């Protein structure tokens, strides 16, 4: 009994011949992402910006955000932002960090609670000081950089340095494009987003390693096949597995995005985007880049260069 296949086993799409188109598209995507980050910046959450976060639920029906904003604007606690948070009766209140210690932050919270009055249920209250938020931001940058470097070392030792460079090109592309989409849409960028980026890096490298394994196997098996054709065959042989993995992962992430609530919506969105862009980069960037890396062909049987090339390429399930 054959398993489920989303693609036919004998598929032969021409990825490598279209590599210039993929390179141009990816370059435009990265440049646009950098431009959006420099021009618009990111909507940093309280984790990175510091301040006070209060999540409330009104008990008398939908929240009147306009009236709430009017009541809170004259409290003298600095900038205050209000937004609907998932449902019409749920509101997220952001207050800039107060000068002073934790007591100063608590005074601001008490003022807000007093102004809101009764009929409000307080879901959570969080404090993040500016020093802590700055440390968290740099820790997040360090975590992503360290992960990319570790992946470079892993792929380098498992394959060759050329494969490592190809994997890092794809990973940097994925990270920058994720930052770009958050800048474009103004989505909140917080610690959960950093966790999503690290997860995206792991998912993307998993896809890339699967294709690289087939490339290495074919390099040893076919000694006369041209490198572009060999790389294209390797992609097609693993394409069914790659698409199946991506689709099943997306189904779970869509359920999280729709049903998981506002708290994890940013994480879920980042993961959905990451799976899509990670699958694309593994196929259309990480492998085509190998054409320009001067890969050495090695025999799988102690230098048997006269090994007969197989006539038919076995398609991966």
Determine the pLDDT at residue 210: 85
Determine the pLDDT at residue 32: 94
> Helices 19-39 and 161-185 sit at what angle, rounded to 10 degrees?
50
Report whether 43 contacts 188 (CB < 8 A): yes
Pair type for strands 51-58 and 87-95? antiparallel
Backbone angles phi, psi at 74, to 5 degrees: -100, 20
Average pLDDT over residues 105-115: 81
Asked whether the predicted pLDDT for residue 312 surpasses 80, the reply is no
Q: Under CATH, to which class is 51-128 assigned? A: alpha beta
Least confident of 1-5, 117-121, 166-170, 275-279: 1-5
Q: How far apart are the first and last CA of the chain?
A: 13
Q: What's the CA gap between 66 and 54, in Å, rounded? A: 17
Q: What's the CA gap between 193 and 48, in Å, rounded? A: 11
Report whether 160 contacts 296 (CB < 8 A): yes
Residues 257-268 pLDDT 10s = 888 776 678 888
Q: Decide whether 16-42+133-292 matches 51-128 in CATH topology.
A: no
> Helices 265-281 and 227-259 sit at what angle, rounded to 10 degrees?
170
Asked whether the predicted pLDDT for residue 46 surpasses 90, the reply is no
Top mean pLDDT of 3-7, 140-144, 229-233, 256-260 is at 229-233
Q: Comparing 42 with 36, which gets the higher pLDDT?
A: 36
SS3 40: coil
* Residue 176, C-beta contacts closer than 8 angstroms, at least 6 positions apart: 30, 33, 34
Determine the pLDDT at residue 129: 67
Rg (CA), the chain: 25
What residue spans define the domains of the chain? Answer: 16-42+133-292, 51-128
Asked whether the predicted pLDDT for residue 298 surpasses 60, the reply is no
CA distance readout (Å), 293 to 158, 269, 299: 16, 34, 19
DSSP per-residue letters across 126-169:
EEE-HHHHHHHHHHHHHHHHHHHHHHHHHHHHHS-HHHHHHHHH
Backbone angles phi, psi at 301, to 5 degrees: -130, 55
Q: What's the CA gap between 16 and 218, in Å, rounded? A: 16
Q: What's the CA gap between 286 and 299, in Å, rounded? A: 23
Residues 190-245 pLDDT 10s = 888 888 888 888 888 888 888 888 888 888 887 788 888 888 888 888 888 888 88
Helices (H) and strands (E) in the chain, counts: 9, 6
Q: What CATH number should be reported for the domain whose range is 16-42+133-292? A: 1.20.1640.10
Q: What percent of the chain has pLDDT over 90?
A: 11
């Amino acid at each position: 009994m054959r398993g489920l296949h989303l693609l036919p086993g004998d598929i032969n799409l021409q990825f490598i011949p279209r590599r210039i188109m993929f390179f141009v598209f990816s370059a435009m995507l990265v440049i646009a992402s950098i431009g959006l980050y420099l021009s618009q910046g990111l909507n940093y959450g309280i984790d990175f910006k510091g301040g006070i976060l209060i999540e409330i639920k009104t008990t008398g029906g939908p929240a009147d955000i306009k009236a709430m904003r009017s009541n809170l604007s004259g409290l003298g606690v600095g900038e205050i932002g209000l937004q609907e948070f998932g449902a019409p009766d749920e509101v997220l209140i952001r207050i800039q960090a107060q000068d002073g210690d934790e007591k100063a932050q608590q005074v601001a919270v008490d003022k807000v609670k007093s102004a809101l009055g009764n009929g409000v249920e307080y879901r959570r209250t969080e404090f993040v000081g500016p020093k802590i938020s700055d440390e968290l931001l740099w820790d997040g940058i360090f975590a992503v950089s360290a992960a990319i470097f570790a992946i470079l070392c892993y792929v380098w030792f498992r394959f060759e340095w050329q494969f490592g460079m190809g994997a890092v090109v794809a990973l940097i592309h994925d990270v920058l494009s994720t930052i770009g989409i958050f800048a474009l849409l103004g989505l909140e960028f917080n610690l959960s987003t950093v966790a999503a980026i690290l997860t995206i890096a792991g998912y993307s490298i998993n896809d890339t390693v699967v294709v690289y394994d087939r490339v290495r196997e074919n390099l040893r098996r076919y000694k006369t096949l041209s490198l572009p054709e060999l790389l294209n065959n390797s992609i097609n042989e693993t394409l069914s597995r790659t698409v199946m993995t991506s689709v099943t992962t997306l189904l779970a992430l869509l359920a999280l995005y729709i049903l998981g609530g506002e708290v994890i919506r940013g994480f879920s969105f980042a993961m959905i985007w990451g799976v899509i862009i990670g699958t694309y980069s593994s196929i259309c960037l990480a492998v085509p880049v190998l054409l320009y890396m001067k890969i050495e062909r090695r025999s799988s049987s102690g230098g048997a260069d006269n090994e007969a090339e197989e006539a038919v390429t076995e398609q991966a399930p």
